[in-house]
Structure 1
């Protein structure tokens, strides 16, 4: 069966008429980033550096409704197209609209090798397709003729470097890997008012996030409360601000109550990701599981302590800031990370 799938994929996803890749002929690019908030933030240097190297190129980004707000005001993107995961009819309608754009280069950054996703890529009809080299069904994307350039995603370096390598001959030189966010000031009112109310009482702010991307990457209420209590006792002149995703305020309040410390407090409710970014911008230290909060903190070069499960993400998605510490769980749950080692790592960060 695997043999049949391999040959069927390699036959159907071939490209009979291929032209040599000439960077000078690339006038319009589509970047596929219709996934999560953190993935979009990590990709912002790609948008900036492409536009700086090729100022006349038209850059379109396929975004999801989840991460669209990250680049809504991005000056490096000429158009954003919403493409969520939907029905076959919905996907074909989006693809038809994108196909009419006649892209010279399409960059896929997804590590999915599902037959449906690969067929969607072919239907987009770009002149050139670049992306990751993924192994499945006894073959790799590099063996699919529709791809012009594929690259391995090494586990020992930040994934952003591989995103740039996937551009092949279109890769800019002298790359600046800084993340960006755009128009945060327009959403900063609540954060500035919140911080202003704390300035007379505290020397600084620690932003504490317990929520991860899934259950095993989320701190339990008791563990989160205990860590907040330790932080509050260790740094009594700092406000420990517990942030939370929309709709989870009750749980965040339980973490604050469980800490039983006056300098542990609940953040204001953020209705927009850039309201959260505005708060993170005002903090001195960010403590968080491996999620978008770490990437937001990296935008502002904050000190970051990140909790990671032992899956390799600590190599692909480590914080892109000057001062950070990674707490790596010995298991697939961040709740198994030693709390005393965490406090020691925070002490190191606070001393820098």
Structure 2
């Protein structure tokens, strides 16, 4: 009886919290009048990329180039951990790093930012209250958002988006079409920029293996459920070691990959920057990865890829399946969906057939 009462109270609390968040969103979003989109007055564009992870940021990287080549000046709002990806991009005029909650100095920067068009490519999330506050500080001339009810007036143009199985980059086609830039998803390319030093260091490393094919293996993602177990990772390393013509370079967080045991033809990556990983993918023959940031790097350089996904759905809107929204999205990729929602349940021998194909003819 007591357990039933506690469960009932918990459900009521969740409903109350949900209602409170909706009311708070409404209050934060309120303004008397929406602006009309006038392209003749749009020059400075701000892209909201604060909510997105590193893999998402790689996907977003193609948008500044399209906007800049059509005459727009681009600012990117992002979290500090992703800022480096945009700071080297010549098509990005300004990168602003933001914390949650905003600091006083960040609020001053936002208030001084000139913004004609604010683009938010995401649906409503747990970040929405915070994003609304950002928009209120900037006061852009026009804002574009996705799938918000009309009562949330912080967005002037709301795009109704129901392509629940479409790749995340498809959203940019809607945005670009909204501002009269015609392009297709097939023409949308990720756009990575980094210093030549990373390529030089990678080329020096790979010069030790002039007659070998190079495989990049990324066994760990940002969550345990999407990562291989240590045993799986070691089993794959041992499997790759059996291919005499292939050198496999294991990439990922140093504190994790350093615990794996070395084998013949296996190298634990000694270069630890993300741009080293990008360069390794750029120079390799094929990739095996559970992490979407590396998957999207493989897409950027059109490398043969074996990817393993773990059947995630969007926590805010379960109609969106991340296996589709963040899939590899190019012909040179193989996507394997792990059983029971976790890469840890995959029999690694399921990879061998694909590895054999790439080992012979990558």
Match of 1:67 in 2: 82
Relative distance call for 1:119 and 1:223 in structure 2 (3 A) is same
TM-score scaled to structure 1, two decimals?
Answer: 0.86
What do the CA deviations read for 1:244-296 (whole angstroms, capped 9, x no partner)?
22x41xx4243233xxx3112212232x2212211221111111113211111
Match of 2:10 in 1: none
Aligned equivalent of 1:15, options 31, 41, 59: 31
In structure 1, what is the Cα distance between the partners aligned to 2:48 and 2:162?
A: 17
Match of 1:147 in 2: 155
| More displaced stretch, 8-17 vs 174-183 | 8-17
| More displaced stretch, 122-131 vs 293-302 | 122-131
| More displaced stretch, 169-178 vs 8-17 | 8-17
How far does residue 238 in structure 1 lie from its aligned partner after superposition? 0.4
What do the CA deviations read for 1:284-333 (whole angstroms, capped 9, x no partner)?
11111132111112211111111111112221112244311111112222
Q: In 2, are the aligned partners of 1:132 and 1:141 still within 8 Å (CA)?
A: no
In structure 1, the residue corresponding to 2:35 is in which secondary structure?
coil
Q: In 2, are the aligned partners of 1:149 and 1:166 still within 8 Å (CA)?
A: no
In structure 2, what is the Cα distance between the partners aligned to 1:94 and 1:225?
A: 44
Aligned equivalent of 1:222, options 213, 216, 231: 231
Q: Is 1:244 paired with 2:252?
A: yes
In structure 2, the residue corresponding to 1:188 is in which secondary structure?
helix
Q: In 2, are the aligned partners of 1:207 and 1:283 still within 8 Å (CA)?
A: yes
Alignment of 1:32-71 (within 5 A): 32-34=48-50, 35-52=52-69, 54-55=70-71, 57-71=72-86
Relative distance call for 1:170 and 1:225 in structure 2 (3 A) is same
Alignment of 1:1-352 (within 5 A): 1=16, 6-7=22-23, 9-34=25-50, 35-52=52-69, 54-55=70-71, 57-83=72-98, 85-88=99-102, 90=103, 92-111=104-123, 112-113=125-126, 114-133=128-147, 140-151=148-159, 152=161, 154-167=163-176, 169-170=178-179, 172-175=181-184, 176-200=187-211, 202=212, 204-233=213-242, 235-245=243-253, 247-248=254-255, 251-257=256-262, 261-270=263-272, 272-311=273-312, 312-350=321-359, 351=361
Q: Which runs of 5 or more structure 1 residues have no equivalent in the other structure?
A: 134-139
Q: In 2, are the aligned partners of 1:102 and 1:127 still within 8 Å (CA)?
A: no
Q: In 2, are the aligned partners of 1:150 and 1:166 still within 8 Å (CA)?
A: no
> When the two structures are aligned, how many residues end up with a matched partner?
331
